[in-house]
Amino acid sequence: MSSRVQENVSGIHVVKSYVQEENEENSFLELNIDYFRNKMKMVRIMGALFPLMGTLGGIGTLIILWQGGRMVILGEISLGDFVAFNGYLALLIWPSIALGWIFTLIQRGLASFERICEILRENPTIADNPETLPVEKISGELELRDLNFSYPAKQNGNNSSIEVLKNINLKISKGEFIAVVGRTGAGKSTLAKLILRLLEIEEGRIFIDGIDITKIPLNVLRKSIGYVPQESFLFNATIRENIAYGIEGNGLEGNNDYMIERASAIADLSKDVENFPKRFETLIGERGINISGGQKQRISLARTIILPASVLVFDDPLSSVDADTEKAILERIKEMARGITTIFITHRIPSIKDADRIIVMENGEIREIGTHEELMALSGTYYDLYNQQLLIEELEEV
């Protein structure tokens, strides 16, 4: 029930835009009724339990008085023994009742405990393997060799798979700025996740500095790669706390204010922060509800570029930002990322014309590789995408 409330509050604009207020109210009412019925069952049991135990205790006392009084009259026990026995019985009645109450609490707790244990018993699908090498640092030279990947799926009730990447072969030199473009569903985001081992490689291999990434310790691999996902996730904390999230444990504790302000400037966030009354101490709310989509993306971007990294992977991190702002941010990133291997995935092709190389993906395959000028000369997929976007931008200006 709590999760339903949280979901509705977070998605209030969606609920209103689809005029689903009444349906959500009815759905929430049904949840409340179910909760009320289940709670009433428990209350009835608890309501009957204590009177029952009190009644049983009273009946026991009457039996003891009758039988004990008879034994005293017959001289089988002394009056002192009888009084002492009754005193001990009185001391035991309420602890016995409390024990029954505790037993019901334990039963309720065990149900929750079992659900938690189910999660804790789950082994991570991606972990360090026994052949992990003692790698402490990586420089950023990448190679993707014969890489294939499929997502599991069900088709007509049978287990199947959807092929997302097909025979990907690519070498990226240290410090190179690579742009990856392509239509939706081309496999760009999957490629980024495979480099970080957020997904496990099924077929093929990825090497960093000539070492198979499955042999690099996960904490070293992920600390060395700065990653901005397509969907920005922010914590219910201040702007400062979100930007500085990864600092702890990276040996950067110290002059945090300077690093936060520098990262904010690169992400074109400084002006926005200045407009907030509490500046960096502004609370962004649950999932960033108090700020715009573009601001969320730029905070996520600042959170990544504040950290030292040998490789930077940006998965369409500025889709909610206008083209001019994206171009300005990209120029700052290129300046900041000199000597750092950078992979920038985007749908806005005009903004990445100056990349060292542009990778064009289509249907899970690398169709074209080259500079902007080389790809335009081919008059292929990149040429079509570039001209389409130029036309869209011209129409928007009109």
Return d(Cα 40, Cα 28) in angstroms, integer: 18
Q: Output the six-digit token pair for 48.
A: 């009957």
Return d(Cα 238, Cα 279) in angstroms, integer: 9
Tell me how far CA of residue 315 lies from CA of 214, 224, 229, 231, 267, in angstroms: 22, 17, 5, 9, 15
State yes or no: pLDDT of 17 exceeds 70: no
pLDDT tens digits for range 43-101 = 777 777 767 777 777 777 788 788 888 888 888 888 888 888 778 777 777 777 777 67
* Mean pLDDT for all residues in the chain: 82
Q: What is the mean pLDDT of residues 158-183?
A: 86
pLDDT tens digits for range 341-395 = 999 998 888 788 888 999 998 888 889 899 989 888 888 888 888 888 777 766 6
Mean pLDDT lowest for which of 32-41, 84-93, 144-153, 376-385? Answer: 84-93
Question: Which pLDDT does position 108 carry in this prediction?
Answer: 74
Question: Which pLDDT does position 270 carry in this prediction?
Answer: 85
Q: What is the mean pLDDT of residues 265-291?
A: 82
Return d(Cα 279, Cα 170) in angstroms, integer: 43
Q: What is the mean pLDDT of residues 145-150?
A: 90
Question: Which pLDDT does position 18 carry in this prediction?
Answer: 61
- Which residues fall within 8 angstroms of residue 384, CB to CB, at 6 or more apart? none
State yes or no: pLDDT of 201 exceeds 60: yes
State yes or no: pLDDT of 168 exceeds 80: yes
Q: What is the mean pLDDT of residues 174-192?
A: 88
Question: Which pLDDT does position 171 carry in this prediction?
Answer: 92
The three state secondary structure string of 60-97 is HHHHHHHHHHHHHHHCCCCHHHHHHHHHHHHHHHHHHH
Question: Which pLDDT does position 357 carry in this prediction?
Answer: 92
Question: Which pLDDT does position 207 carry in this prediction?
Answer: 92
Question: Which pLDDT does position 252 carry in this prediction?
Answer: 57
Between 2 and 362, whose confidence is greater? 362
Q: Is 184 within 8 Å of 344 (Cβ atoms)? A: no
Q: What is the mean pLDDT of residues 213-229?
A: 87
State yes or no: pLDDT of 173 exceeds 80: yes
Split at pLDDT 50, 70, 90, the class of 330 is confident
* Ordered domains of the chain (ranges, CATH): 2-120 (1.20.1560.10), 142-397 (3.40.50.300)
Question: Which pLDDT does position 14 carry in this prediction?
Answer: 66
